[in-house]
Chain A
Amino acid sequence: MVSFDYAPAPESTSIVDIKSSYGLFIDGEFTDPAAGGSFKTISPSTEEVLAEVAEADESDVDRAVKAARRAHTRVWSRLSGRERGKYLFRIARIIQERSRELAVLESIDNGKPIRESRDVDVPQVAANFFYYAGWADKLEYAVAGRAPASLGVAGQVIPWNFPLLMLAWKVAPALAAGNTVVLKPAETTPLTALLFAEICQQADLPPGVVNIVTGAGDTGRAVVAHPDVDKVAFTGSTEVGRSIARSVAGTDKKVTLELGGKAANIVLDDAPIDQAVEGIVNGIFFNQGHVCCAGSRLLVQESVADEVLERLKRRMSTLRVGDPLDKNTDVGAINSGEQLAKIRELAAVGESEGAAGWSPPCDLPAQGFWFPPTVFTGVTQAHRIAREEIFGPVLSVLTFRTPSEAVDKANNTPFGLSAGIWSDKGSRILWMADQLRAGVVWANTFNKFDPASPFGGYKESGYGREGGRHGLEGYLR
C-alpha cells in the first residue's frame, strides 16, 4: 500500500531573537536581581538551553511591589478610564503585530504545537486585551449597585501550560480595573512574559504598572505573602492553592484561585459519535493534556461504549506527535522532565490498579520530553487515575447506564471546574448541565474559550471567575 506521509513543515525560528540572559522587569526597566541568582529555561522538545533567567528573591519582589504601589498611587489610579483603556488597546494591537514572534517563542519555550500557539493562544491573548481595554472606562456598568474602585497592587502567579494566555487573563482585567501588577511567570516558561515586558515598553505603559519577576516557588510565595499586595490571583495546582488560601488567612487580601480539575466528558447514547470523538480528542489531547479543564474522565453510556472506543482509538492513531514547531504536529512535548515523571508515575499506577492502557503506535523523538496519547479502559471511580489530576495526555474511560448515573459519577470528585455533555437532545443537555457541579459546561463542544466568557471552578477547583464581566469584578472593590 502506498503511504502518504506528511513532509516536515517546520516553522522558521528566525523571527525570534532569544537573548542569552534576561533580567527582571521592574519599574519599566530590565534590572539585575539583588542576589544575582539565575536559572535556565530549556526547550522541552530538544532539552536545549534557551536562556538564563534572573531569579527574584524577596528583596526583588519587594522592589517590584514598591514600584507597582508608586505607579498605582501616582499614575495609574489617577488616569481616567478612557486613557487606561487606550494603553490596553495599544497592547492588544502590538500583540497582533508581533503575533507570529510570540507564537514561535511560546512553542519553543513551552513545547506546545505551533498550530495551537498560533491559532489559539496568541489570538486569544490579543482578544483578552482588546476586550478588557473596552471595560476600563465602563467600570460603573460592570458591578450592580455599587461604585467600583481599584484594589491597588495585584500579585499574580501563573502556570506553564498557557504562559501568555494566563498572563493576559490576569494582567488585562487587573489593569482595566485600575490596578497595577507584579506577575510571576512559571520557571519553565518565562520567555514570552519577558517579551510581553518589551511590548509594555513599546506601548509606553507608565513604569511600574506592569512588573515581571521571574523565579520558582519561593519567588511566587514572596509575591503572595508580600504585605503590600492587595490582591492575589493564582492559577495552578490545588495543593498550592490551598497553601495560598492559608497564607492569606487573617489578611485583607482579596484572592482568586483557578486550580485543578478532573472534568467528566459525558457521551450519551444519542450523541453524534464522530463529533463526540473529535471533542474527546480535543478535550484531553489539546496542549498535551496540560489543561486544568481537560476532559480527563470520559463517561460513556454503556450501549455505545464499544463503538465510541473503537472510533476514538482510530482517531488517536492519526494524531501526530513530535516537533512543536512543525505545522502538522497535533501533540507536542511535555513541558518538563519533572512533569513527564509525574505523568509516567500515574500511568503506571493506572496499570497496577488494573486498568488497561492503550496508545497508538508512534515514534517519539529521542531528545526531549514525550508521552504518547494514552487511553485507559476498565477504570472505576476508585482508581487514582479517575480521581487525581494527571495533567498529561492520559484519558480514563468509565461507563454508565442512565443519565442520572452519569451525573452522580461526574459530580463524584472534590473538583468542579468543567464538564462536557454530548447528546442530540436539547432538553437532556440542559437538564444535565443544570445538575453538573462545574463552573464551565461544554455541550457538544469542548475546551472553548473567549474573553467574554466567565471561567472558573466550584469546590476545590478554586474560587472567583476570570473572563467576562465576572472576571473584572475580582479586581474591583
Chain B
Amino acid sequence: MSRIDVRKTYKLSIGGAFPRSESGRTYEVTDAKGAFWANASAASRKDARDAVVAARSAFKGWSTRTPYNRGQVLYRVAEVLEGRRAQFVDEVQRSEGATKRQAEATVDTAVDRLVWYAGWADKVAQVVGGTNPVAAPFFNFSVPEPTGVVAVSAPQGSSLLGLVSVVAPVITTGSTCVVASSVERPLPAITLAEVLATSDVPGGVVNVLTGTLRDTLPTLASHRDVNALDLTGTAGDAELAAELEELAADNLKRVRRGGGAEEDWTLDPGLDRLTWTLETKTVWHPIGR
C-alpha cells in the first residue's frame, strides 16, 4: 500500500507563533491549475489588531539592535531560505503556475535579494545621513531612524520574490511589520514566516496575515499604532488604494502607493524601498570650550 502524505496546515504568523485565525475561518487555496491545495486561515480584524500589537512590542528590541546584527540576521534568513530551496521552488511553481526553471530562478533571486539587503543594514545611515555644515558653531548631524510599525500589502502576483522584496527593506533598517500576503497565492508567505521564525528574526518583527484584503487592510490602514502603510499589493485596484490612503490620513501615516500594475521584481530594487520607512533625526549641539 502506498504511503499517505502528511499535508501541511497553513496558519497565520503573529508574534513568532503560528495561530489559526481567532475567527476560526479559513478559505480555499487552489494551485495555478485550479486544483485544491490547502485551507488557509482567513485573518479577521482582531487578528490584524493582534499582529499590530506584536509588531509594536517587537519594535523596541529590533530597532535598537546594532545595524551589524540586523545585517547578520537578514543574511541568516537568506541562508535558511537557500536551505529550503526545494520546498520554495515547489510552492512557487504551484502558486504561480511557473515552470520549474522559472520557479528556481525566482527563489534564487529572492535569496540574493535578502543578501543585498543584509549588506545595506550597516551602510544606509552613511549613505542617507551625515553631518550638516551649518553656518554657526554647532555640531549638527542627521541620522536615519526606523519609522515604527509598517503595514505592508504584499504583491498579489509574485508570491515569494515580491514578498521578500517588500518585507526585507522594511526590517533591514529596524522597523517591524504586519504583512497582508497575496490573497490567491498565500502559501509561500506562511512558509517564509517559518523560515523567519528559525532565522533569529525575533517574534513579532514580521507578522503574516492571509485572507482577503478587505478583512485586514482597512483595519491596518486606520490603526492608530501603525506608522506607515505600503499599498504595493493594491496595484491595479485604484478604488481600494484610495480608500486605504484616506484611512491612513487619520494619524498621518507614511503611505507608499501601489501604482497601476505590479512592478518587475527581477529589476535592481535601488534604495527607494529601504528609505521610505526612514525618519531623519537631526541633532544640534554647540561647539565651544
Contact = CB atoms under 8 A, between A and B. Distances in A.
Contact of B251 (A249, A440, A459, A470): A459
Contact of B147 (A127, A252, A450, A458): A458
B134 interface: yes
Nearest to A462: B252
A372 interface: no
Interface stretch (B78-86, B135-143, B179-187, B202-210): B135-143
A454 B252 contact: no
B28 interface: no
Interface string A420-457: 00000000010001000011111111001010111110
Contact of A441 (B127, B147, B238, B284): B284
B252 A245 contact: yes
Interface string A396-436: 00000000000000000010000000000000010001000
B271 A144 contact: yes
A249 B135 contact: no
Contacts of A462: 252
A162 to B, nearest CB: 18
Given A249-B246, A439-B280, A454-B280, 10 more contacts: A246-B246, A249-B245, A433-B283, A441-B282, A441-B283, A442-B284, A445-B138, A448-B136, A450-B135, A465-B280
A441 B282 CA distance: 6
A145 B280 contact: no
B280 A456 contact: yes
Contact of B133 (A414, A429, A433, A452): A452
Given A144-B271, A414-B251, A460-B251, A452 B284 contact: no
Interface in B195-248: 227, 238-239, 241-243, 245-246, 248
A343 to B, nearest CB: 24
B34 interface: no
Give the interface size bracket for A toward B. Answer: 35 or more
Interface residues on B, range: 35 or more
Contact of A439 (B132, B238, B282): B282
Interface hub of B127, B238, B285 (most chain A Cβ within 10 A): B285
A250 interface: yes
A339 interface: no
* Majority secondary structure of chain A interface residues (helix, strand, loop or mixed): loop
Contacts, number: 107
Contacts of A450: 132, 134-136, 140
Contacts of A460: 251-252
Contact of B284 (A242, A248, A443): A443
A250 B249 contact: no
A468 interface: yes
Interface in B128-186: 128, 132-136, 138, 140, 142, 147
Interface of B is mostly: mixed
Given A250-B238, A453-B140, A445 B252 contact: no
Contacts of A243: 249
Interface in B79-99: none
Report, nearest first, the 10 A-B pairs whose CB atoms are least far apart.
Answer: A250-B242, A245-B249, A249-B245, A450-B134, A249-B246, A246-B249, A443-B285, A453-B132, A441-B283, A452-B132
A30 interface: no
B60 to A, nearest CB: 10
7 contacts: A238-B252, A249-B242, A443-B283, A448-B138, A450-B136, A453-B132, A465-B280
Contacts of A439: 279-282
A453 to B, nearest CB: 5
A74 interface: no
B263 interface: no
B24 interface: no
B250 interface: yes
B278 to A, nearest CB: 10
B258 to A, nearest CB: 10
A250 B241 CA distance: 6
B282 A440 contact: yes
Contacts of B251: 414, 459-460
Contact of B270 (A127, A146, A441, A444): A146
A468 B249 contact: no
Which of B142, B245, B246, B272 has the most A CB atoms < 10 Å from its CB?
B142
A39 interface: no
A429 B227 CA distance: 26
Given A439-B281, A450-B140, A242 B286 contact: no
Contacts of B279: 439, 458
A131 to B, nearest CB: 9
B246 A440 contact: no
A41 B89 CA distance: 69
Interface string A271-299: 00000000000000000000000000000
Q: Which of A257, A441, A459, A465 has the most CB of B within 10 A?
A: A459
A455 B284 CA distance: 11
A476 interface: no
A133 B239 CA distance: 41
B39 to A, nearest CB: 34
Given A246-B249, A250-B242, A445 B140 contact: no
Contact of A445 (B132, B250, B286): B286
B254 interface: yes
Nearest to A471: B280
A259 interface: yes
B281 A144 contact: no
